[in-house]
Amino acid sequence: MAKKFAIIASKGTLDGGYPPFILASTAAALGYEVKIFFTFYGLQLLRKDLNPKVSPLGNPAMPMPIPVPSIIQVIPGLEWFATWMMKRKLKQKGVASIEELREICIDSGVELIACQMTVDLFDFKQTDFIDGITSGGAATFLEFSSEADTTLYI
């Protein structure tokens, strides 16, 4: 029987979106049955108009070409700039885009589950999300994770 991998994806930023999609696509390539449960801000990763961003604000660990004090980081456009720089860097280094990894996950049979409670909470509509996803709640996740070989909260 195939190994099972259960993931909770709770972050919707560019850097927060990579780990669940990288691990899920790779696990699927290794023959795992994989389910990702998207909750809270992680739901952004299921959007049709996927456009995750990264911000240095509140993240003192983010490498910057020059030091940018927090008070400057609130200036409009800096988040856009940081995202643009990160995306350029990812491309230069031959890292797949989030969209590409999500596509591979879907093609390789990873089940993408939207947490119904948070879908309601944020007034998301089914049409906001890509096709082929399912929805479920805490018990749905726990049923699968109770049999999983690996479970991660990201």
Partner 1 sequence: MADFDIELDASGLNCPLPVLKARKELNGMKTGQKLRLIATDTGADKDIAAFAKMTSNPLLDFYIDGEKRYFLIEKGAN
Between 92 and 127, name the residue whose CB sits nearer to partner 1.
Answer: 92
Q: Which is nearer to partner 1, 22 or 133 (CB)?
A: 22
**Cβ closest to partner 1, residue 17 vs residue 141:** 17
CA atoms 83, 89, 92, 96: torsion sign: negative
Q: What residues between 59 and 118 interact with partner 1 by CB under 8 A?
A: 93-96, 104, 108
Nearest to partner 1 of 67, 94 (CB atom): 94
> Least separation, in Å, of the C-beta of 27 and partner 1?
10
CA distances, 8 to each of 47, 58, 91, 113, 134 (Å):
17, 23, 26, 9, 14
Interatomic CA distance for residues 125 and 81, integer angstroms:
30
CB of 50 to partner 1, least distance (A): 19
Beta partners for residue 134, in sequence order: 113
| CB 109, CB 85: distance < 8 Å | no
Residues in region 20-39 near partner 1 by CB under 8 A:
22, 25-26, 29-31
- The residues binding partner 1 (CB under 8 A) are 22, 25-26, 29-31, 93-96, 104, 108
